[in-house]
């Protein structure tokens, strides 16, 4: 049920390049304000351009990651960190290994966690976040079914880090990264909706026509667990950067 709607800052970029640049600038500004910023990081196609610009800005000495701390939002269960489709591999390859983040400040989800011990794992992951003072900025992509992290439809508002069964739509969408759909893991470990909502600020990125419908329902539709991203309407500090295609079904463009 919708109790109240907090205005979200929605930025519509000219194209994907501009979206990526704006996202990178947003992150760099946050680091300039707080050099020991704690970030939650997404993977997938959408943030690739942002990571490219962040690495570029680092190489041009515009940003220093030496005090920044990072957590990844999610990981497939059953993939080693060396597997080319693991999110640990993606983040190392596209970002972590290319900037001056300290090893001790990188906290990646463990895809090889023992699922029978998941609650212990989750407790520890949440405690690590608390120990560094909480997440300052959670950067998110969005699935076509409205998932944020891997919080699939039905995820509870107060859910924390946990193992989740991936939705059929997610398995279908993510099969593009694997040789065969049967290779896509069926389970993942993800920060919860509650973990994400506890962040001081949230930056959500979406690009392409295939995200237009879910962007409309998440931002302008009712808050419902059926569309997990819709809960962001209740967070006080959300910025959304879209390209024109992803924004094409929004009525209200700020």
Residue with tokens 């910023």: 37
Residue 137's CB is within 10 A of a number of other CB atoms, namely 21
**Nearer CB in complex with ligand F6R: 87/121:** 87
Dmax of the chain from CA atoms? 47
Alpha-helix runs per DSSP H in 60-106: 87-94
Task: Please confirm, yes or no, whether 104 is among the known catalytic residues.
Answer: no
**Nearer CB in complex with ligand F6R: 65/71:** 71
CB of 87 to ligand F6R, least distance (A): 6
Task: Please confirm, yes or no, whether 147 is among the known catalytic residues.
Answer: yes
CB of 239 to ligand F6R, least distance (A): 16
Of 158, 139, 169, 6, nearest in space to 71 by CA: 139
34: tokens are: 């707080």
CB of 3 to ligand F6R, least distance (A): 25
Q: Whose CB is nearest to ligand F6R?
A: 141
Angle 16-33/48-59 helices, nearest 10 degrees?
A: 50
CB of 32 to ligand F6R, least distance (A): 25
Dist. CA 8–CA 237, nearest whole Å: 7
Selecting among 126, 147, 243, 245, the annotated active-site residue is 147
Task: Please confirm, yes or no, whether 145 is among the known catalytic residues.
Answer: yes
Contact residues: ligand F6R, CB under 6 A: 42-46, 73-74, 87, 141-143, 147-149
**Nearer CB in complex with ligand F6R: 16/87:** 87
Under 8 Å between Cβ of 137 and 203: yes
Whole-angstrom CA distances from 68 to 43, 101, 224, 231, 250 are 18, 7, 33, 27, 34
Q: Does an H or E element contain 89, and which? A: helix 87-94
**Nearer CB in complex with ligand F6R: 57/142:** 142
Selecting among 72, 74, 136, 167, the annotated active-site residue is 74
**Nearer CB in complex with ligand F6R: 111/141:** 141
Q: 162: which strand partners? A: 190
Selecting among 75, 126, 136, 145, the annotated active-site residue is 145
CB of 208 to ligand F6R, least distance (A): 8
Selecting among 152, 173, 243, 245, the annotated active-site residue is 152
Q: Active-site residue numbers?
A: 74, 145, 147, 152
């Amino acid at each position: 049920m919708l109790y109240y709607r907090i205005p979200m800052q929605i930025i519509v970029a000219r194209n994907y390049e501009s979206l990526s640049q704006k996202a990178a600038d947003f992150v760099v500004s946050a680091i300039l304000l707080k050099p020991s910023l704690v970030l939650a990081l997404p993977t997938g196609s959408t943030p690739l351009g942002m990571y490219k610009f962040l690495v570029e800005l680092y190489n041009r000495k515009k940003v220093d990651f030496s005090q920044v701390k990072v957590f990844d939002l999610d990981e497939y269960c059953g993939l080693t960190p060396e597997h080319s489709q693991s999110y640990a591999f993606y983040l190392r390859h596209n970002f972590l290994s290319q900037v001056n983040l300290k090893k001790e400040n990188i906290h990646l989800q463990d895809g090889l966690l023992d699922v029978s011990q998941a609650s212990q794992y989750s407790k520890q992951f949440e405690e690590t976040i608390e120990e560094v003072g909480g997440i300052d900025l959670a950067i998110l992509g969005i699935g076509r079914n409205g998932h944020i992290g891997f919080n699939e439809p039905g995820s509870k508002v107060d859910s924390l880090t946990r193992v989740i069964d991936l939705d059929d739509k997610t398995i279908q969408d993510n099969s593009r990264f694997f040789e065969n759909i049967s290779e896509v893991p069926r389970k993942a470990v993800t920060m919860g909706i509650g973990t994400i909502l506890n962040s001081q600020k949230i930056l959500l990125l979406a690009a392409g026509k295939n995200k237009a419908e879910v962007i409309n329902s998440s931002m302008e539709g009712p808050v419902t667990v059926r569309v997990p991203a819709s809960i962001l309407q209740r967070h006080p500090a959300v910025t959304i950067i879209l390209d024109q295609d992803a924004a094409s079904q929004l009525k209200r463009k700020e």
